[in-house]
Amino acid sequence: MKFILGKKIEMTQIWQGENVVAVTKVQAGPCRIVQIKNSEKDGYEAIQVGFGKRHEKNINKPQRGHFKGLDNFQHIKEFRTEPGELKRGDMIDVGTFAPGDNIQVTAVNKGKGFQGVVRKYGFKGSKKTHGNKDQLRMPGSIGATGPAHVFKGTRMGGRMGGEQTTIKNLKIAAVDIDDNTILISGAIPGARNSLVLVSGEGELVVKSEKLKVESNNNKESGDEEKNKIVETQNIASEIVETQNIASEKAETPKEVEKEVVEAKEKVDEKKKEEKK
Q: pLDDT band at residue 121, thresholds of 50, 70 and 90? A: very high
Those residues whose C-beta lies under 8 Å from the C-beta of residue 158, and which sit 6 or more positions away, are 114, 115, 120
Task: Say which range, 16-20, 49-53, 83-87, 97-101, has the weakest mean pLDDT.
Answer: 83-87
Contact between 172 and 97 under an 8 Å Cβ cutoff? The reply is: yes
Q: 265: part of which helix (H) or strand (E)?
A: helix 253-275
pTM of the predicted structure, to 2 decimals: 0.68
Bond into 30 cis (ω within 30): yes
Query: How does pLDDT run across 11-31, given as a tens digit for each residue?
Result: 999 998 899 999 999 999 789
Query: Binning pLDDT at 50, 70 and 90, where does residue 214 land?
Result: very low
Domain 2-110+163-200 has CATH 2.40.30.10: yes
pLDDT, tens digit (0-9, with 9 covering 90-100), for 154-202: 999 999 999 999 999 999 999 999 999 999 999 999 999 999 999 998 8
Arithmetic mean of pLDDT over the chain: 84
Angle between helices 216-249 and 253-275 (to 10 degrees): 150
Q: Are residues 31 and 5 in contact, defined by beta-carbon separation less than 8 angstroms?
A: yes
For residue 212, is pLDDT > 70?
no
Percent above pLDDT 70 for the chain: 82
Residue 202 DSSP label: S
Three-state SS annotation for 31-75: EEEEEEECCCCCCCCEEEEEECCCCHHHCCHHHHHHCCCCCCCCE
Q: Are 161 and 110 in contact (CB under 8 A)?
A: yes
Q: Please say whether the beta carbons of 148 and 170 come within 8 A.
A: no
Give the mean model confidence (pLDDT) for residues 90-105. 91
Q: Within 13 Å of residue 2, how many CA atoms lie on the same side as its CB?
A: 20
Lowest mean per-residue pLDDT among 130-134, 142-146, 161-165: 130-134
In this prediction, residue 221 carries a pLDDT of: 53
Q: Is the pLDDT of residue 137 over 50?
A: yes
Window from 42-56, 110-124, 237-251 with minimum mean pLDDT: 237-251
Alpha helices in 102-172, H assignment, sequence order: 117-121
- Is residue 267 predicted with pLDDT exceeding 90? no
Please state, in angstroms and rounded to a whole number, the distance separating the CA atoms of residues 5 and 196.
6
